[in-house]
Amino acid sequence: MIRRLMKTLVGVAVFSAFAGGVAAQDSKVADELAKYREALADGNPADLFEVKGESLWLEKRGPNNASLEQCDLGQGPGKLEGAYAALPKYFKDTGKVMDVESRLVHCMMTLQGFTLAEATRQWYSKPGKDSDIEALVTFIGAKSNGKPINVPATHPEEAKMAKMGESIFYRRSGPQDFSCSICHGQEGKRIRLQDLGNLTTKDGAGFAMKTWPSYRVSQGTVWTMQRRLIDCMRQARWPEPAYLADSIIALETYLQKTATGTVMETPGIKR
């Protein structure tokens, strides 16, 4: 046992002898990445989504020929300032904790008369097929730019949802033994060159959550938080969650609660 420990210690010592050079190389890579991100931030294509989202918000559409102007996203009908930053939230009228997307779809159904299938058919865009939801969420999100994330989860249903999100965050399964926590439960790690936030802390969750929805350069479109988290499950090699599923809303509630107090910088732009 002691022999094994000594062997390990010597191993660690030899490794740390190499560590100096590694650190220098790491910071060089990080500098290059910072420059890349700076270049991206200059002119965010998400601005176009925001403009389109606003006109969709105001346009009379659907079987009821109604606009979304009376939609209540938690701050009262038509009140958009800071609404995104305070979601997910418990809504009395549905008896459910809802995120921005489930609430938006609810408004499209109740105010405009769309069916669920119609409202969610194009919930994410494909090449040549734009998504109204991406545009609307970008517009709604931008109305929270500069506002602090505010999901204290004080309502019992919200508190419960945040706890359930925490449970899912640590849940390991699949052919790679993954959980959210494997990549997002530690400080200062990278996967390949991508920095990974520690989403269990306010700083880490805040840094991650404040820039959504975000324009993804590699995808050529805006991703909503539903899209982002459903893709996390794809990367975990799990089956595909249903759009607006409770498990996704639970994760959002957990993350927004952890991030609460962080000032929003949205729409964001990412790799």
Q: Given the rule CB under 8 A, which residues bind other proteins?
A: 5, 8-9, 11-19, 22, 25-26, 29, 124, 160, 163-179, 181-183, 185-186, 188-194, 196, 230-231, 233-235, 237-242, 245-248, 250
228: Cβ contacts below 8 Å, ≥ 6 apart = 212, 214
Measure the CA dihedral 89/167/154/57, to 10°.
Answer: -10
Q: Which one, 102 or 112, has the nearer CB to other proteins?
A: 102
Residue 65's CB is within 10 A of a number of other CB atoms, namely 10
Judge whether 180 counts as a catalytic residue: no
The span from the CA of 179 to the CA of 70, in Å, is: 39
Q: Which is nearer to other proteins, 11 or 63 (CB)?
A: 11
Distance, CA of 103 to CA of 97 (rounded, Å): 9
DSSP type of residue 255 = H
Closer by beta carbon to other proteins, 115 or else 194: 194
Asked if residue 158 lies in contact with residue 89, where contact means CB atoms within 8 angstroms, the answer is yes
Q: How far is the CB of 64 from other proteins (least distance, A)?
A: 29
Q: Tell me how far, at minimum, the Cβ of 211 lies from other proteins, in Å.
A: 22
Nearer to other proteins, 143 or 257 (CB): 257
Rounded-to-integer distance, Cα 163 and Cα 259, Å: 14
Q: Which of 71, 107, 183, 232 is catalytic?
A: 232
Q: Cβ closer to other proteins: 86 or 250?
A: 250
Residue 15 CB, nearest distance to other proteins (Å)?
Answer: 7
Please report how close the Cβ of residue 25 comes to other proteins at its closest, in angstroms. Answer: 7
Kindly state the smallest distance separating residue 52's Cβ from other proteins, in Å.
Answer: 22
Give me the torsion for CA of 110, 134, 230, 171, rounded to 10°: -70
- Site of tokens 């609430």: 103
Contacts of 29 (CB under 8 A, 6+ apart): 193
Q: Which residues are catalytic?
A: 232
